[in-house]
């Protein structure tokens, strides 16, 4: 029985094509030029109302933020090599933390200009909390339902294959918004060396 909000297997053949198209349209690039990072990103201007983050940092309309994405190619390569980081939360978190260290160094060097915060929407908000991100609820609207449906499909294809992990297809995926201020990123990750 298929869980509500999880794409049926027969339509998942379209997901890699849609994923590539969205990455081109939104200029999403891997953090590392060689594509070996688990993190991909794009920069954009924040369009919402002023947001005060947990550390007191403010994100105002027009501020430049980095939108974080998972680099699905990273998962695909590891699956092809029979490396299952997606099945090991500790390894997944370790790889993500290493990329945050690289990103902190790049931001500190001015590579992205004056970035105010990191932002993302994710089904993996528990992992994001462990990495220091602030997790926020998203309003229940059509965008959230569509994004959750799309990301659940990506999880099945690239990250946690439904045919390989017991209970995945039955899991309820909750999409949440995550934030990490520039100051919190630099405090937590810039003192470490990848």
Question: Which band of pLDDT confidence, cut at 50, 70 and 90, is reported for residue 165?
Answer: very low
Q: Which two tokens stand for residue 41?
A: 């990103």
Q: Which of 35-44, 116-125, 146-155 has the lowest mean pLDDT?
A: 146-155
Instruction: Say which residue, 96 or 82, is predicted with more confidence.
Output: 96
75 CB-near residues (< 8 Å, 6+ apart): 38, 85, 86, 158, 159
Pseudo-torsion of CA 18, 152, 127, 63, nearest 10°? 40
The answer to whether residue 8 scores a pLDDT higher than 60 is yes
Sheet of 115-122: strand order equals 29-30, 39-45, 64-70, 115-122, 176-181, 134-136
Instruction: Report pLDDT digits (tens) over 114-126.
Output: 999 999 999 988 8
Residue 62: DSSP 8-state: T
Confirm whether pTM is higher than 0.75. Answer: yes
Give dist(CA 2, CA 129) in Å, integer. Answer: 29
Pseudo-torsion of CA 89, 105, 111, 34, nearest 10°? -50
Give dist(CA 190, CA 182) in Å, integer. Answer: 11
Give dist(CA 32, CA 84) in Å, integer. Answer: 21
The answer to whether residue 143 scores a pLDDT higher than 60 is yes
Q: Which of 8-12, 40-44, 160-164 has the lowest mean pLDDT?
A: 160-164
Instruction: Report pLDDT digits (tens) over 69-91.
Output: 999 888 777 766 665 544 567 77
8 CB-near residues (< 8 Å, 6+ apart): 2
Segments in the chain forming alpha helices (H): 15-25, 72-80, 89-108, 125-130, 142-154, 182-189
CB 133 within 8 Å of CB 184: no
Q: Which two tokens stand for residue 39?
A: 């993190």
């Amino acid at each position: 029985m298929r869980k509500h909000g999880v794409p049926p297997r027969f339509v998942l053949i379209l997901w890699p094509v849609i994923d590539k198209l969205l990455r081109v349209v939104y200029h999403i690039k891997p953090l590392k030029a060689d594509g070996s990072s688990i993190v991909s990103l794009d920069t954009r201007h924040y369009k919402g109302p002023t947001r005060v983050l947990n550390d007191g940092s403010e994100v105002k309309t027009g501020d430049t933020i980095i939108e974080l994405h998972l680099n699905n190619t990273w998962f695909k390569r590891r699956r092809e090599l029979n490396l299952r980081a997606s099945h090991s939360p500790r390894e997944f978190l370790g790889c993500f933390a290493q990329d945050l260290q690289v990103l902190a160094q790049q931001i500190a060097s001015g590579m992205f200009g004056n970035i105010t915060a990191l932002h993302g929407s994710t089904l993996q908000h528990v992992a994001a909390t462990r990495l220091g991100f602030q997790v926020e609820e998203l309003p229940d609207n059509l965008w959230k339902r569509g994004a959750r449906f799309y990301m659940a499909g990506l999880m099945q294809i690239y990250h946690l294959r439904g045919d390989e992990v017991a209970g995945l297809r039955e899991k309820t995926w909750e999409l949440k918004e995550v934030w990490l201020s520039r100051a919190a990123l630099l405090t937590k990750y810039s003192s470490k060396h990848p």
